[in-house]
Amino acid sequence: GEDVEQSLFLSVREGDSSVINCTYTDSSSTYLYWYKQEPGAGLQLLTYIFSNMDMKQDQRLTVLLNKKDKHLSLRIADTQTGDSAIYFCAESANSGNTPLVFGKGTRLSVIA
């Protein structure tokens, strides 16, 4: 079945850039997502990218997609303490109406 892998932890200093990586196995993945979960809260959609795109930028967030290597990354520029959270990568195949497959999440810690 489909699988999504992420590293579990990342620690960065405030003001530096953070890069969170994700790999997936389903070659038919059409939509790839990044969600953020703050302590005690639900998941909040950060951004998403279609598989026909290589890059998407949204303010401090840059998503890069390497479809050949099935690798997705999320770069957060000028990381702030408020960015400390768990970040989930997710993918869905076909039309995007199929259930998402989530990675286990990367816990980002920002050191002041």
Partner 1 sequence: NAGVTQTPKFRVLKTGQSMTLLCAQDMNHEYMYWYRQDPGMGLRLIHYSVGEGTTAKGEVPDGYNVSRLKKQNFLLGLESAAPSQTSVYFCASSPSGVQYFGPGTRLTVT
Question: Which residue ranges make up the site for partner 1 (CB under 8 A)?
Answer: 8, 31, 33, 35, 41-45, 48, 88, 92, 95-97, 99-100, 102-105
Output the smallest distance, CB 103 to partner 1, in A: 6
Output the smallest distance, CB 20 to partner 1, in A: 14
Contacts of residue 78, defined as CB under 8 A and 6 or more positions apart, other chains included, come to 15, 17, 60
Of 49 and 110, nearer to partner 1 (C-beta) is 49
Distance CA 30, CA 55 (A): 14
Region for residue 78 given its phi and psi (left: phi exceeds 0; alpha: psi -120 to 50; beta: otherwise): left
Of 49 and 76, nearer to partner 1 (C-beta) is 49
Nearest Cα neighbor of 61 from 81, 39, 94, 83 is 83
Output the smallest distance, CB 14 to partner 1, in A: 27
Of 15 and 96, nearer to partner 1 (C-beta) is 96
Give the 3-state secondary structure of residue 45. strand
